[in-house]
Amino acid sequence: MHIESRLQFRYAYPQDQDPITFEDFTDTETHVFEVNRARLKVGGHGFKPWLKYYWEYDVVGGNLLDFRVMVEKWEFFKLKIGQWKTYFTRERVISSGKQQLVDRSIINRPFTVDRQQGMEFYGRLFPERLLDLSYNISVLTGTGRGQSTNDDEHLMYVGRLQWNVFGRELGFSGSDLSMTEAPEGLIAFAGVTNRSPYTRFSTSGGGQLVGFADGEEGQYRVNQLLLETAFKYRGFSWQHESHYKEIHDRILAQTTILKGSYFQAGYFLHQIWSDIPEPLEAAMRYAWYTPEVNVENNLHKELGLGVNWFFAGHRNKLTAEVTWLELQGPTFPVSDEVRVRVQWDISF
């Protein structure tokens, strides 16, 4: 058994949360000091090394986030049951304590599938060969964290197929802390289909995107597609996602289509200039999404620049970030904001 706690202290100005409406840009500017996350984690194995367990508790929110048991006796076929962050997007699956910038991009909110309860089959095929593949197939309740039943007889189905380009599996963490000597990369495709009262999910559970009313049972059929790439080599890291999301309102008989992408890169500058301290990493990210592709001049943008100082890898690091955020809508002028955030993340 391994017991761990993690604390995340954050300062932000003029606000911490990503603005999602025009009114969010006109809110009073404030200095934010907060314990953004406080987690208690317990994991290990019982009876046999391949029978593993893990649970995670959110001390700040008072929520049980993860509880799962994994049967991992064979590399090509594994089984997981319980509740966890669905293996759909790399950005969401990477722990908030192993992110490259202060937090996830603006596309996380509209496109994440987040935590669900259910079961998953996963594994790795043809390891260290040309066609080195990792796969995840999930059958879930589709109603969000803390929900053990779905609202009707239609479950959530998620599939992910990942090609490990160089015959080596790339782990779910940001930054190339190990200065990878042999390149590691992936190209992944994923899809999800679900029918529920919700158009989005988060740590809080099921909810609605802007413009959608609280749903009835089975009101929204949501279909999503994802293309993802990632790469690490000698201090350089890259990750990218492109999303397509279709929301069909079965009561109003109307369909909304969302699209979005993010591109992120980081580099330990000591690799090219020895006078720069080894623990310092520079990173940048560009992200965009449109909440309705059929509406012109309807776009959210993000451009972020940040630096990390690693005292002990991701277990003890300081991150500073400057982000430019812009919201363009069809019925109001372009609004933008420059945000500054500093964060200390430490695990014991």
Report the CATH number that the domain containing residue 151 is assigned in CATH. Answer: 2.40.160.10
Residues 82 and 260: their CA atoms lie apart, in Å, by 30
Q: Are 27 and 12 in contact (CB under 8 A)?
A: no
Mean pLDDT within 90-105: 95
What total of structural domains would you count in the chain?
A: 1
Instruction: State yes or no: pLDDT of 253 exceeds 90.
Output: yes
Q: How far apart are CA 67 and CA 242, in angstroms?
A: 29
pLDDT at 267 (0 to 100):
98
Asked if residue 331 has pLDDT above 80, the reply is no
Hey, CA dihedral for 221, 227, 232, 236, is it positive or negative? negative
- Tell me, what's the pLDDT at 153? 87
Range 143-151 average pLDDT? 90
Is pLDDT of 330 > 90? no
pLDDT interval class at 329 (50, 70, 90): confident
Residue-range definition of the domain harbouring residue 57: 2-347
Q: What percent of the chain has pLDDT over 90?
A: 87
CA–CA separation, 50 vs 266, rounded Å?
34
Whole-model pTM: value is 0.94
Least confident of 114-123, 133-142, 167-176, 314-323: 167-176
pLDDT at 26 over 80: no
- Distance (Å, rounded) from C-alpha 289 to C-alpha 270? 34
Measured CA angle at 84 (ends 257, 46), to 5 deg: 160
**pLDDT confidence tier of residue 333, bands split at 50, 70 and 90:** confident
| pLDDT at residue 294 greater than cutoff 90 | no
In 40-117, where does DSSP find H-type helix? Answer: 90-93, 108-111
DSSP string over 257-280 = EEEEEEEEEEE-GGGT-TTS-TTE
pLDDT digits 0-9 by tens, 109-125: 999 999 999 999 999 99
Q: What percent of the chain has pLDDT over 70?
A: 100
